Amino acid sequence: MLRSLRSELLKISTTRIWWILAAILFGYVGLTAAGMAALFTTIRQQPEGQLITAEMVPPLVYSVATAVGYVFPLLFGALATTTEFRHQTLTPTFLATPRRSAVLGGKVIAGAVWGVVYAVVGLLAAVGLGALVLAATGQETLLGDSDVWALLGRIVLAMMLWAMIGVAFGVLVSNQVAVIVIVLAFTQFVEPLLRLASSFWEWSARIGGYLPGAASDALVGSSIFTAFSGAATADSLEWWQGGLVLGGYAALFLVIGGLTTWRRDVT
């Protein structure tokens, strides 16, 4: 397992996709966080903008790292597994390690490690640029606040879980094109609509809380999405429940994928 993990980490670092995604993540999250910091500064300068207190702004800005950035570790994890199917590199992989469960274990842990890397990149962008704009415009950054540091810790955990979900989902679907289409369509289009629709009734909002994106927001505890759709926040899960739901998705995909595509003949 340890050797498999080393091999999997090396697989990631010897191809280019990880830093391409990391660069886009940094730019996307950094621009969004800086833009939001500037926007809140302007709003708070309006008389009616005082409803938003100084303490509310930094968590919203920093949680951009997951709120818009979670799709990157997810996509990364999914690509890391489907690339093996696509380029038939499962052949040398399984020749070196015939115990396929050990390979799978190594992949999931390597995915988790890289999820932390993406969390660091996302936080450098969100906190780095976001706090810079907040400080420059004379707003509170709350960087000395332990609650904010706990938030950052939960963001790291969320990004790690998203990368693991990606790895597991890649095993389940195995077709690289299909995985990219499903991940982008679901995260950017289907899930936001489902979350919006579920917020209309109390019973559906409770179910909607178990959608992966909603669970992720619950885990992090702050997000622009939940902040502006009031109904959903009331029924959102506790932070640890959100973490368990995300872990549950990863485990579910992993078990089904591990029992189906992963056991197939490699021809």
Partner 1 sequence: MTGAVIEIQSLTKRFGGTTAVDDLSFRVEPGVVTGFLGPNGAGKTTTLRSLVGLVRPTSGRATFDGTSYAELPNPLRTVGTALEAASFHPGRSGRDHLRVVGAAAGIPTARVDEVLAWVGLADAGGRRVGGYSLGMRQRLGLAFALLGDPGALVLDEPINGLDPEGIRWIRGFLRDLAAEGRTVLVSSHLLSEVQQTVDRVVIISRGRLAYEGTLDGLEGGAIARVHVDAADREALGRSLTAAGGQVEVAGDGLRVSGLDADAIGRHALAAGVPLRLLVPEREGLEDVFLGIVGEGEIR
Residues that bind partner 1 (CB under 8 A): 3-4, 6-7, 10-11, 14-17, 83, 87-89, 91-99, 265-267
Q: How far is the CB of 264 from partner 1 (least distance, A)?
A: 9
Asked whether the beta carbons of 165 and 111 are under 8 A apart, the reply is: no
- Report the residue number, 63 or 82, with the smaller CB distance to partner 1: 82
What is the Cα–Cα distance from 174 to 74, expressed in whole angstroms? 14
Residue 159 makes CB contacts below 8 A (sequence gap 6+) with 65, 66, 69, 70, 73, 115, 116, 118, 119, 122
What is the Cα–Cα distance from 200 to 234, expressed in whole angstroms? 12
Q: How far is the CB of 169 from partner 1 (least distance, A)?
A: 20
- Report the residue number, 82 or 139, with the smaller CB distance to partner 1: 82
Q: How far is the CB of 104 from partner 1 (least distance, A)?
A: 13
- Report the residue number, 4 or 199, with the smaller CB distance to partner 1: 4
Q: How far is the CB of 2 from partner 1 (least distance, A)?
A: 9
Which tokens go with 49? 């903008």
Interhelix angle 239-259/146-173, nearest 10 degrees: 20
- Report the residue number, 175 or 241, with the smaller CB distance to partner 1: 175
